Structure 1
Amino acid sequence: MSSINVTTTYPTGGTLLPNAFVDYYMIKANGEYVKVYIYLLRMVSNGQKFNIPCLADLLELTERDICRALKYWKKENLLDLVMDGGEIRSIKLLPVSTALTIDADDLKEPEKEEPAPAPELKKEVPVAAPSVKAIPALRTLTPSQLAQKNKDDKFSYLIYIAEMYIGRPLTANDLNTLSYFYDDLAMSPELIEHLVDYCVSNGKKNFRYMQSVAIAWYQEGIHTAEEAKLHCQNYQKEYYQIMHAFGLNNQPAPAQIEYMKRWLKTDGFDLSIVIEACNRTIRSIGQPKFQYTDSILKKWKDNHVVSLDDVKKLESRPGTVAKPGTPQINNQFHNFEERDYDFDELEKQLFEKQIHPVKED
């Protein structure tokens, strides 16, 4: 990748941030975008060149983050990009408008509005409330709001704990997400500390991953660290037993987790039913194929199977499973060979052909 030249038509006087940028653009922008813009100012003051991978390594961001930041500042009319063949060839920094100002009232904490009185509704037939808990939206706090949050001793402690676990200072995005756990999801400091510990222990230091886990706990109604520990133990225990039934000792892949979650949660199968389907998969095709197990469980679900006894009753129904040794009838009305089809065996053969297609000569 070729180097990118950064130029400007106005004197920078060193790495100097105009007041209009601080008062208007910086407050609205993502913290990582601000880092990119400030470093562009630093390079243009010395006439340096750069490329996207090097800048990403230097600022500890991804290349995609750098490109998003450049496109954002282009949209804000603070720079212009010269493209060639889909690649950025040069960047021109544009003057920051001094006409933009921000009122002091904009830096104050937003006042809580009194809820408007609910309008009177006509009596209607009550509708059942949805079972899925609504997820609060993630808010982006202003620098003054984040500074106010730091005055909270419990929140300051969470920042310290999080930085200790992930081994680096938190970015503005990280602080927003941490505040989301604390305020919007109403998670206790103890639960948030366990959340960070749990994610880091699983090799996940990304706050986006932590956010997905936090939302899952929120929907499960988990409020304490003890409840979270119990949930994780049960969660891991059930999945481990299914993986063990398949003869697998590795951590389940996301696609495999989706299967197991649907079997146990959405479809509501008992763990013993799922393990029986896994055992039948191994006996039938000799491989731990989640798709094959899913076809077995789908068949059982369609037949309202909820226990192992139901499985036996289903198989005992006439015509469900072909019985070996069925006598052949040969008379004047039967001049052809009758066949009893074992549909489970046919399904197995079809599945194997899909996995190992026969090569034509």
Structure 2
Amino acid sequence: MSTFMFKSKAQDYTPVSNIFIDKYMVRARGDFVKVYLLGLKYCMSGELGVSSSILASTLHLLETDVLNAWNYWNDEGVINMIPIDNMGNFSIQFVDLNEKIEGNDNNINLLKELNKGPTKDMLQDIEKLLGRPLSSKEMSMYVGWQKEYNFPPEVILLIIQYSVSKGKTDFRYIEKIAIAWFDSNIKTIEEAQSFIKRREDKWIKIKKILTYLGAKDGEVMKPQEDMLDKWINTYKFPLEVIFKACDICFERINKAEFKYIDGILTSWYKDGLMTLEDIAKKDTKTTPARKPNNFKPPQNSTFNNFEQRSYNFDELEKKLLGWENSDD
């Protein structure tokens, strides 16, 4: 359970800014508006704070709905939501919307932009794709892409579709995709589709390599991802060649070592070995032929020059027995 502390002066009424009604309320979920208004009422009544359970019970909502509402209004810049401790308690400060500059995000006059048919249609299509209403910050961001990135509405909608297909609807993730497309100089639907295909093809191959190595996507760090990208897009090795390098790595060190595999593939790339046939031919040339086993002992001059002697065993026996000087 969270507690929300208010900073205010006691009032007998709850003033609601027309800016909030005109600009923010019309775009927000009804539950979010309820939380804002009830919170504002507590604040203006001089309450020091209120728990999420009381707000949820009063409005017949879940406590998670209450927290989501405050997060939404914080993102909108309507309130300042500041953590007090690590227990989930916050200080809520209501912003004076009369002092808030209209359209201060990228100098965009959002109300003016919403009067334009194509822009309004684009934002409505985005809401349908995301399955939720857009905050004014999000709307300003998408409208800003048309000017800052020179994206036509069709490209912006394709960014949203691509993000949704990945199960990502957070505007921060969507913004990262847009920046990546801008950095890749994407301006048309055709360029965007080609970019997506190249990226998807790369990740399909990466997943196959990781599966072959017995690794998972989440276990791959940025340096390893860069190596995988190099093998696929820079070296342009087919998967069977990469698998061959993995096999050699396992045979030699009995484990999957990215740097070791990278060393093998880099060596093959420098030698122009791009197929399994190239590698097999190279191995045949470099593997020395076995010599026949016709070993002969070395010629030892000392042994061969040893003078072979013949002994008279009868005479030798007499000497041993002391018969040499006997008269017999």
1:253 positional shift: 2.7
1:276 aligns with 2:241: yes
1:60 aligns with: 68
2:122 aligns with: 158
1:214 aligns with: 178
1:188 positional shift: 1.3
Contact 2:146-2:152 within 8 A present in 1 as well: yes
1:194 aligns with: 158
Q: Which amino acid aligns with 2:135?
A: T
Of residues 303, 308, 315, the one that matches 2:274 is 308
CA displacement, residues 262-285 of structure 1 (integer Å, 9 cap, x when unaligned): 443599533325642334325653
Percent of matched pairs sharing the same residue: 16
CA displacement, residues 177-200 of structure 1 (integer Å, 9 cap, x when unaligned): 212322211111111111111211
Q: For the structure 1 residues 324 and 267, does the alpha-carbon distance in structure 2 shift closer, same or farther, using more than 3 Å as the test?
A: farther
Q: Which amino acid aligns with 2:196?
A: C
Distance 1:45 1:266 in 2: 63
Distance 2:220 2:210 in 1: 12
Normalized against structure 1, the TM-score is what?
0.55
Q: Which amino acid aligns with 1:4?
A: T
1:1-361 alignment runs, 5 A limit: 1=1, 4=3, 6=5, 10-17=9-16, 40-45=39-44, 47=47, 49-51=50-52, 57-58=65-66, 60=68, 72=80, 86-87=86-87, 140-141=105-106, 145-247=109-211, 253=217, 256=220, 258=222, 259-264=224-229, 268-272=233-237, 275-282=240-247, 284-285=249-250, 292-301=257-266, 304-305=270-271, 307-308=273-274
Match of 1:49, SS state, is strand
Match of 1:15, SS state, is coil
Q: For the structure 1 residues 307 and 90, does the alpha-carbon distance in structure 2 shift closer, same or farther, using more than 3 Å as the test?
A: closer
Distance 2:264 2:88 in 1: 55
Q: For the structure 1 residues 315 and 172, does the alpha-carbon distance in structure 2 shift closer, same or farther, using more than 3 Å as the test?
A: farther
Distance 1:283 1:160 in 2: 55
Q: Which runs of 5+ in 1 are unaligned?
A: 75-80, 110-138, 332-361
Q: For the structure 1 residues 260 and 326, does the alpha-carbon distance in structure 2 shift closer, same or farther, using more than 3 Å as the test?
A: farther
Q: For the structure 1 residues 91 and 200, does the alpha-carbon distance in structure 2 shift closer, same or farther, using more than 3 Å as the test?
A: closer
Aligned-residue Cα RMSD (Å) equals 5.3
CA displacement, residues 39-88 of structure 1 (integer Å, 9 cap, x when unaligned): 53233356572149966522525879979x899467xxxxxx8x5x7547
Q: Which amino acid aligns with 1:60?
A: N
Q: For the structure 1 residues 173 and 253, does the alpha-carbon distance in structure 2 shift closer, same or farther, using more than 3 Å as the test?
A: farther
Q: Which runs of 5+ in 2 are unaligned?
A: 57-61, 299-328
Distance 2:143 2:231 in 1: 31
Q: For the structure 1 residues 262 and 172, does the alpha-carbon distance in structure 2 shift closer, same or farther, using more than 3 Å as the test?
A: farther
Larger radius of gyration: 2
Normalized against structure 2, the TM-score is what?
0.59
Contact 1:56-1:66 within 8 A present in 2 as well: no
Aligned residues: 272
